[in-house]
Amino acid sequence: MLGPKPPSQVLIAGAGPSGLMLACELARRDVPFRLLESAPGPQAGSRGKGIQPRTLEVFDDLGIVDRVLAHGRMAMPMCSTAPDGRIVSGGAGTAEARSDVPYPASLITPEWRVEEALRLRLAELGGTVEFGTALGSFEQSSEAVSATVVRDGVAETVTARWLVGCDGGHSAVRKRAGIAFPGETRDEMRMIVADVEVDGLGREAWHTWWHEEGFASLCPLPSTGVFQYQATIAPGQDGELSLANLQRIFDRRSGRTDIRLHEPEWSSLWRANIRLADRFRAGRVFLAGDAAHIHSPAGGQGMNTGIQDAYNLGWKIAAVANGAPPALLDSYETERQPVAAGVLTLSNSRLEQTLENKSLPAGGDADTRQLTVGYRGSPLARDDRDEIARLRAGDRAPDATGLCTVDGKRRLFDLMRGEHFTLLDFGTTADLPQAPGLRIFHVVEEPAEPSDVADTEGLLAAAYQASGQTLVLIRPDGYLALISDAGDAAAVSDYLAAIGSST
């Protein structure tokens, strides 16, 4: 066995979307980490193909949204054929942006493209994925985690301050940490998912055909030459992944004889395994993504929720690594576990609707787009607003257009982008705190300094329901930390002192 190396701050097991997102968050904050992936290389297959608007905002902040958008299609039209032959056309929401929501609809893109964009960003930040490297056993103390890492049959001992399991539904990290994973496996709910080339069908829409035995669908995957094939498999039905079986199922359910499938490039038989970890943390061990919660694919929630787990955890680990109180990490489970529970409820409901009504539920609502995800009631949420106020601490920070700075026109998300807290000062005369990791913007009539912002159309004030002295503190992950309509600068100082001002 090799001798121990100098300790990393964080050991991440699993380089799917959640692990890659966490690695990027740590890398851009200069927190040392190792990202381990037992597979020999990147995963194939489209798998989760829907990116929700809130996740696109996360990618905007990380600097990869243009890459992701370039390989996807927003608001893809949907065409559903009922058993009686009736055709219903629709879409996954509008593609027209709003001032407060820059990405108004879900994006269709294969999951491997998302991972590709995250790996490219990680490389730009100086990070790497250690493919073909497995996490073995580990032990933890009050100070560190000591783990065995195996590559090419050679074991080494790794010491880190924290271990994060992003290693999927069968998470070895979760099992070895002794964290229960209650839920259910519904064998009556199975589905074939495959990536196939298709002859005889245009790529302008996502098509679904309904039949008494179940549905079959073909969704064109942008930036590729394939479609994602899906077909429900009821008890007693053949779930074989051969081309011949996929074609038989499709022909029977669609009633079409002019559409021919090619040999699958990737395929899988999905089973409804619906579970939520009873803890997201055990000492210095954390869980994120499918290691903490697994969902029905209905509604396109799972991958998005895992990415946002990592987004929430990343800045907090970095803050504590740089001296913030360790108690800040307690808020990860407090904030994210209820979100995951809500996502399970939403995705299960949409799955039941799909199977019962033989149609796909509308996908353009704010809950599905994850724009309503928030942390009201979190220990990190403080305000002096009335309970009936539309916008409260803990909510997602809305965007706003029409802002003018000394450098030209900007939208709020342009100013927020990065690893810092953002303080919006709508006109208080109080002395504002100056702290590492804090960027202050003063809302003024005419910008004269780099920190000045003119709200030329009043959209910023409207989005934040701001008065002439409102202060709004926004967290690095784009949620409202504190709102003071009284202009209480001391409350901002106290907040930053309580959680540590360096991010």
Task: Copy the structure tokens of residue 218.
Answer: 């073909």
Quick one: tokens of 418? 């990065």
Q: Quickly state the pLDDT bin for 299 (edges 50, 70, 90).
A: low
Total of domains in the chain: 3
Query: What is the structure's pLDDT at 246?
Result: 98
Helices (H), 322-458: 330-357, 412-416
**Per-residue model confidence (pLDDT) at position 4:** 42
Among residues 224, 253, 272, the one where a domain terminates is 272
CB 243 within 8 A of CB 267: no
368 has a pLDDT exceeding 90: no
pLDDT value at position 6?
A: 44
Same domain, 157 and 237: no
- Bridge-based pairing of strands 50-51 and 33-37 is unpaired
Residues 378-403, mean pLDDT to the nearest whole number: 97
Given this model, what pLDDT does residue 64 score? 98
At 306 the pLDDT is: 96
Last residue of a domain, one of 272, 289, 308: 272
DSSP letter (8 states) at residue 192: E
Flag whether 376 is in a domain: no
In a domain, 87, yes or no: no
Q: Tell me, yes or no, whether 23 and 137 share the same domain.
A: yes
Instruction: Yes or no: say if 364 and 94 are a contact pair by the CB < 8 Å rule.
Output: yes
**pLDDT: is 430 or 497 the higher one?**
497
- Lookup result for tokens 């799917």: 16
User: Where are any strands of DSSP class E within 378-447?
Assistant: 382-383, 403-405, 408-410, 421-425, 438-444
Tokens at residue 14, please? Answer: 């699993």
Same domain, yes or no: 179 and 191: no
2 in any annotated domain: no
311-316 contacts at long range (C-beta below 8 A, 24 or more positions apart): 311/21, 311/25, 311/58, 311/477, 312/336, 312/477, 313/22, 313/25, 313/164, 313/286, 313/288, 314/21, 314/22, 314/24, 314/25, 314/26, 314/29, 315/25, 315/29, 315/419, 315/475, 315/476, 315/477, 315/503
- Dump pLDDT digits (tens) for 227-269: 999 999 999 999 999 999 999 999 999 999 999 999 999 999 9
Domain annotation covers residue 1: no
* Confidence band, pLDDT 50/70/90 cuts, at residue 274: confident
Sign of CA dihedral 438, 22, 378, 415: positive
399, 402, 403, 404: CA torsion to nearest 10 = 160
The residue type at 161: R
Report percent pLDDT > 90 for the chain: 83
Residues 421 and 335 in one domain: no
CA angle 344, 349, 353 (to 5 degrees): 150
* Nearest-angstrom CA–CA distance, 62 and 55: 10
Rounded Cα distance, 379 and 334, in Å = 9
Give the position of tokens 């839920």. 183
pLDDT at 363 over 70: no
pLDDT tens column, 136-151: 999 999 999 999 999 9
Q: Are residues 163 and 293 in the same domain?
A: yes
The answer on pLDDT for 185 being more than 90 is no
pLDDT of residue 3: 40
In the predicted model, is pLDDT for residue 175 greater than 70?
yes
Residues 444, 489: one domain?
A: yes
Q: At 353, is the pLDDT very low, low, confident or very high (cuts 50, 70, 90)?
A: low
- The domain that holds 224 is classified in CATH as 3.30.70.2450
Q: Are residues 130 and 213 both part of a single domain?
A: no
446 close to 388: Cβ distance less than 8 angstroms: no
**Is residue 365 one of the residues assigned to a domain?**
no
**Residue 383: HSE in the Cβ half-sphere, 13 Å Cα cutoff:** 30
CB-CB contact of 399 with 102 (8 Å): yes
Q: Give pLDDT, residue 105.
A: 93
Measured torsion, CA atoms of residues 263, 264, 269, 274, in degrees rounded to the nearest 10:
-160
pTM for the full model?
0.95
Out of 239, 272, 305, pick the residue that ends a domain.
272
Residue 93 placed within a domain: no
- The strand ranges marked E within 32-101 are 33-37, 50-51, 73-74, 77-81, 87-91
Asked if the model's pLDDT at residue 502 lies above 60, the reply is: no
Is there a single domain that holds both residue 201 and residue 224?
yes
Is 264 in the same domain as 292? no
pLDDT tens digit sequence for 29-55: 999 999 999 999 999 999 999 999 999
Same domain as 211, residue 155: no
Q: Mean pLDDT over all residues of the chain?
A: 92
CA distance linking residue 296 with residue 247, whole number of Å: 24
Which CATH number fits the domain that encloses residue 401?
3.40.30.120
Query: Is 50 exceeded by the pLDDT of residue 186?
Result: yes
Q: Are residues 167 and 215 in the same domain?
A: no
- Average pLDDT value for residue range 406-420: 97
Give the domain range for residue 434: 382-499
Q: Can you tell me the mean pLDDT for 267-288?
A: 94
Question: For residue 2, what pLDDT band results from cuts at 50, 70 and 90?
Answer: very low
pLDDT at 300: 64
Q: Which residues of 442-452 are buried (b: 16+ CB within 10 A; e: fewer)?
A: bbbeebeeebb
Kindly state whether residue 16 falls inside one of the protein's structural domains: yes
Whether residue 374 is contained in a domain is answered as: no
Which strand (E) or helix (H) includes residue 464?
helix 459-464
**What are the backbone dihedrals phi and psi of residue 303, each rounded to the nearest 5 degrees, phi first?**
-60, -40
What whole-number distance in Å separates Cα of residue 358 and Cα of residue 214? 8
Same domain flag for 157 and 267:
no
Q: What is the mean pLDDT of residues 13-41?
A: 98
